Structure 1
């Protein structure tokens, strides 16, 4: 009589974590297979981390008057200064500030203004879009006609107009302190329209579906329906627009600062540094303009390319 082996049930695999499911998702697979997405994501993260940790990376604080030495002014990149003998990676500007340090600190202002302006425009646009799409009637008409009128003007002109009005009503002693926040509001108010139009169109589709009708039947009020039921289903296109808008907001901030109506001289951004360098371009000090402009180009291009890939990855028609 032979003994037959007793089969034991196979042990169940432990459930995957949220991060594990993300690594196995089609979204991450599409990301790994796209060299443009990987490169743009790497450049974006590198620049953001460099700005965040600027006090630890920058050789000096370029906006601390005690650390400046006018004798170091107009030092070319990787060239010893004729008077002090000091060498700077990307050279110095007219005040002897290290260009590499000014770029790191200036990028902090550009990223903060861009991110805050997009967040403000996104919140405002989503709220007005949900309201217009769900309520309809005169509310929708008024909101969308205001959006249509604003679309007839270039966003940079709208931002300049709002910035000028807000700065005019701000007391003189607080203008430099409030300049960054006024800049955020100006850019945000000039960019809310695209969020509102997309959310309004998606809301018109979603409010006719069964789950919204069921929520109405059980007595849900309009605001909870819009926030808890409709909003999660319209966020995908909003995230794509927000990513692309971040690049546009950074460029808008740089444009305003270049024109002298943006960040104050005490808190210079990349646009302010480019404006300063433009005055010395034809006198031979090309690096004062070139390196801040190259940084702005790399930042805006990488964020824009990442947004383009995100738009394609979240589009179900392209899967």
Structure 2
């Protein structure tokens, strides 16, 4: 089959038909793609490097959006913060960190959850009971509290000199460990259904190794719900990272994410510098909402009962 025919079949698939006929999904995809591309290309398209002290001018501090600064005369589209950093540039660079943490945490949670879900559903017995009881206990607590606990415990084992360097990775592990349960439960349920089907029984009869059955036969058939959870989980992971950074336990101040920028702007909200908080908050809202809407569309598109 040629590459052109494959693209034609993909374009005519049920999922793409649903996407083409969903204005909400199209708008959400455009917004999410625009933010992701802008964040990825931040070093080339950002007007300034906000984290280079040599490029900062304190006289530009608290510049209003689209108005010349009283001292320097410089004009910034979204204004500047207390240190003279361009808000637009800080949003572009901050979104890079938020997206990196979000994607990495979801991938970590997905790999861990899929692996444990396959083991629990395929093996059954005491292994299944143990893993699901652990999942039930974790579900009884809010995920943000679990992430806070894991983050605090992990930082306790890291030498103080390395805490800022390891902060992002600790944050990724904390969010990932707090979100693996959803993947594990969905994969476990789908695995328990698939393992009793005839093609799995036939593979067992001819002597295929159980690990190969789980990876090559069962896993591809349970990836539909996993992709939906991963898409929605990305939005939740970005919000979780912003929440932790807003609370002051996320990324270091030298590498601020959208949550850190919101925390900084919150301190100046009631003194009249509203733009320091507003624009990072709008960027976080647009990013998380668009990804969440894409997850909702993907869930409906992959649901055969809604076709």
> Given the two structures, how large is their TM-score scaled by the length of structure 2?
0.99
Aligned to 2:162: 174
2:115 corresponds to 1:127: yes
Cα separation, 2, equivalents of 1:78 and 1:132 = 57
Cα separation, 2, equivalents of 1:200 and 1:282 = 50
Cα separation, 2, equivalents of 1:150 and 1:30 = 35
Structure 1 residues 72 and 16, CA gap change in structure 2 (3 angstroms): closer
Higher-Rg structure is 1
Structure 1 residue 20: deviation in Å? 1.2
Aligned to 1:264: 252
Structure 1 residue 17: deviation in Å? 2.1
Aligned to 2:217: 229
2:21 corresponds to 1:33: yes
2:236 corresponds to 1:248: yes
Aligned residues between the structures: 307
Could you give the per-residue CA deviations for residues 52-90 of structure 1, whole angstroms, max 9, x where no partner exists?
A: 000111011000000000000000000100110000000
> Given the two structures, how large is their TM-score scaled by the length of structure 1?
0.95
Structure 1 residue 16: deviation in Å? 5.0
Aligned to 1:45: 33
Cα separation, 2, equivalents of 1:21 and 1:267 = 44
Cα separation, 2, equivalents of 1:15 and 1:189 = 39
**Out of 196, 208, 213, which is 2:184 matched to?**
196
Q: How does 1:1-319 map to 2 (within 5 A)?
A: 17-319=5-307
Which segments of 5 or more consecutive residues in structure 1 lack a partner in the other structure?
Answer: 1-13
Could you give the per-residue CA deviations for residues 25-77 of structure 1, whole angstroms, max 9, x where no partner exists?
A: 12111111100000000000000000000011101100000000000000000
Could you give the per-residue CA deviations for residues 106-143 of structure 1, whole angstroms, max 9, x where no partner exists?
A: 00000000000000000000000000000001100000
Off by >4 Å, runs of 4+ in structure 1: none
SS at match of 2:253: coil
Aligned to 1:11: none
Cα separation, 2, equivalents of 1:35 and 1:202 = 31
Which segments of 5 or more consecutive residues in structure 2 lack a partner in the other structure?
Answer: none
Cα separation, 2, equivalents of 1:29 and 1:227 = 30
Cα separation, 2, equivalents of 1:15 and 1:48 = 27
Structure 1 residue 23: deviation in Å? 1.1
Structure 1 residues 66 and 223, CA gap change in structure 2 (3 angstroms): same
Taking only aligned residues, the RMSD between alpha carbons, in angstroms, comes to: 1.1
Aligned to 1:5: none
SS at match of 1:94: coil
Cα separation, 2, equivalents of 1:279 and 1:26 = 49
